[in-house]
Amino acid sequence: MLESNKTFSNIRLKYISFLVACLCLTDAWSYGQRNAGIDFYQYWAVGQKISQAKKINVYSNNIRRSWGTEFLERANNSKSQRFLMAANYRKFLDTTASPFLYSLFGNLSPKDYDRAITIYRFICMVCVVFSFIMLGHLLRFLFVISMLFLVLFTLYFEPYRSDYAFFSLWTGIL
């Protein structure tokens, strides 16, 4: 009987820790929802242009300026506030990443900015959760401890929250 109560308590503790982690992830999601994703915007915008253009120097100041202007016009004509905020912030695209990265974003991202950033945010969140679960497993932590670290990380680790606000490339690759 005592063993049965202990097992039930462990299961209950796992569920409670999982639910608390879900609440914290919901908080992180809404935190990211309020931000434009200005870093993501660059990868997405340049990727959209690269998928259409052949042999173009994305690092040229003329291209950075003209593409920034073009996407600002697109944002002004769209209904997306997030797209408009990002385009207003990045009127001059700061292309410093590898062409391969831009090609990936161009070929794998939807044309709609809001849809693209939502998919990216979801993938990043799944990667963060998976990495905490796997790290906890490798270190032989209890599931409850892994969830506790996930909670602390998503709520209080400001570098992660900042990355999640700007949707930097490294958000989902921890």
Q: Which one-letter DSSP state was computed for residue 1?
A: -
Question: What does the pLDDT read at residue 6?
Answer: 65
Total-model pTM: 0.81
Question: What does the pLDDT read at residue 86?
Answer: 93
Question: What does the pLDDT read at residue 12?
Answer: 84
Question: What does the pLDDT read at residue 4?
Answer: 58
Q: What is the dihedral of CA 104, 106, 110, 116, to 10 degrees?
A: 70
Q: What is the dihedral of CA 87, 90, 95, 101, to 10 degrees?
A: -40
Give the integer Cα–Cα distance in Å for 24 and 29.
Answer: 9
**Cα-trace Rg, the chain:** 20
Q: What are phi and psi of 6, to 5 degrees?
A: -65, -40
Question: What does the pLDDT read at residue 8?
Answer: 61
Residue ranges per domain, the chain? 21-172
Q: E strands within 1-123?
A: none
Q: Split the chain (174 residues) into runs of 10 and give each run's mean pLDDT.
A: 62 85 85 82 92 84 95 95 93 90 88 92 89 94 89 86 68 42
Question: What does the pLDDT read at residue 72?
Answer: 97
Give the integer Cα–Cα distance in Å for 127 and 71.
Answer: 29
3-state SS class at 5: helix
